[in-house]
Structure 1
Amino acid sequence: MARMPSAERRRQLVEAAIRAMTRDGVARTTTRSISAEAGVSLSVFHYCFDSKQTLLEAAIETIIGDYVARVMQAAVEPKATLRDTVRVALQSYWDDVVAHPGEHMLTYDLTQYALREPGFEHLARAQYRQYVASATALIGQVCAARGIEPRLPVEVIAQSLAAIIDGLTLQFLVLGDEQAAASQLDITADQMVSLIEG
């Protein structure tokens, strides 16, 4: 097995864990199966991660971080209207849901696993804090680019956006209705503009 930097090896293991958990579910995925998926020994896993718990933290951060980066990039057009910018950002997220439904389903599985497994509850709280922090950063970026002072605190708007997106994502994963999802994204964009501008 070729030596690689530990950060790269960690990324390899996280990607393997995401694939394995998406396919098999969080509860059925073990450190041994993750190691096998990554093509490394169990000792390599334990060199990179203290436990399955620390790997789950890294997996949550990776999944959220990857789509948040795409959404933030989509929201940088300063000449677009606020509503158009919000709608483009929402669509960027939604494109990821449609392209990677298994990973988004995995986020719900991770939440439920963390809430049921003693000692893992903090992972679910951290996951949802990350959702709100990401939405806060996005809304702050959009407002700052336009010189807008939101009528409500940005974090309050972000909490609303995170809750709405969470519900819409789950609804789409269950029902698979793309037309209804597109309509809900339009409504969500209008709601966000209303919360920001009044």
Structure 2
Amino acid sequence: MAHISAAERRPQFIEAAIVVIARDGVDGATTRRIADEAKAPLATLHYCFQTKENLLVAVFEHLSSEMSVDLDSIAVKGASTATVAERVLTATMQWLVDRPVRARAEIEIDLWAQRNDPEMARGIYDGFRQAWTDLLMKGRTPLPAAEVETLVRVMIALADGLTMQFISDLDPQRTMRDTETACTMIRSYLKSRSRAAA
């Protein structure tokens, strides 16, 4: 049997962990179950990641980088802040409904981090907040930083709620309809805010 390097094994373990976490939750995703899913020796998993926590971080970073590639493709140049906000929320939710196993794994890791590793949980949200803030600040009608921060926090709350509903009922059409409603709410808020500022 040919030797498989640690560099080749790492992505296999990450993919296996996503499947097992989505199916069994983080607490149920033992390193043995993950190694079995990857069809690899348990010792190799421990060699590649040392601890389950290191593997969880790698899984979350992998999922975040996949999603950020899609967000980076959002056209923001010349678009209004409201349009950018809608595109960010819609692209995020479309990414999640297209990948229900990844959506569930991401939520499971986030909930686990909230209970077990508050620093990791803060890092998860800080990453989303920063990425979304950077995109919104490129809008044609930039808001003051404090208002962007509030808007991003509300958008993340909407995305979290929509994701929880989606992984509960697995109805992509309903989730995207609800996302359109959330976008209408954001647009309405930003329109009323700009009228108040005028």
TM range (shorter): 0.7 to 0.9
Cα distance, 1:19 vs. partner?
A: 1.3
Q: Which ranges in structure 2 are unaligned for 5 or more consecutive residues?
A: none
Whether contact under 8 Å (1:31, 1:45) holds in the other structure is yes
Q: Distance in 2 between matches of 1:37 and 1:196?
A: 52
User: Match for residue 160 of structure 1?
Assistant: 154
Q: Distance in 1 between matches of 2:57 and 2:191?
A: 33
Equivalent of 1:132, from 129, 132, 138? Answer: 129
Matched, 1:150 2:149: no
Q: Distance in 2 between matches of 1:91 and 1:85?
A: 10
Whether contact under 8 Å (2:31, 2:45) holds in the other structure is yes
Number of residues of Structure 1 aligned to a counterpart in Structure 2:
191
Structure 1 range deviating more: 48-57 or 63-72? 63-72
- Three-state SS of the structure 2 residue aligned to 1:150 is coil
Aligned partner letter, 2:186? T
User: % of aligned pairs identical?
Assistant: 28
Q: Distance in 2 between matches of 1:80 and 1:14?
A: 36
Is the alpha carbon distance of 1:196 and 1:160 closer, same or farther for their aligned partners in structure 2, counting shifts above 3 Å? farther
Can you list the C-alpha shifts for 1:121-154, whole angstroms capped at 9, x where unaligned? Answer: 43322222222222223223x33xx4x5422334
Aligned partner letter, 2:145? L
Is the alpha carbon distance of 1:81 and 1:125 closer, same or farther for their aligned partners in structure 2, counting shifts above 3 Å? closer
Higher RCO, 1 vs 2 (CA within 8 Å, ≥6 residues apart): 2
Matches within 5 A, 1:59-74: 59-74=59-74
User: Match for residue 31 of structure 1?
Assistant: 31
User: Match for residue 52 of structure 1?
Assistant: 52
- Three-state SS of the structure 2 residue aligned to 1:40 is coil
Cα distance, 1:70 vs. partner?
A: 0.4
Cα distance, 1:102 vs. partner?
A: 3.0
User: Match for residue 83 of structure 1?
Assistant: 82
Q: TM-score, normalised by structure 1?
A: 0.79
Cα distance, 1:31 vs. partner?
A: 0.7
Q: Which ranges in structure 1 are unaligned for 5 or more consecutive residues?
A: none
Whether contact under 8 Å (1:16, 1:38) holds in the other structure is yes
Is the alpha carbon distance of 1:190 and 1:57 closer, same or farther for their aligned partners in structure 2, counting shifts above 3 Å? farther
Aligned partner letter, 2:53? Q
Whether contact under 8 Å (1:86, 1:192) holds in the other structure is no
Aligned partner letter, 1:56? L
Q: Distance in 2 between matches of 1:193 and 1:60?
A: 35
Cα distance, 1:53 vs. partner?
A: 0.6
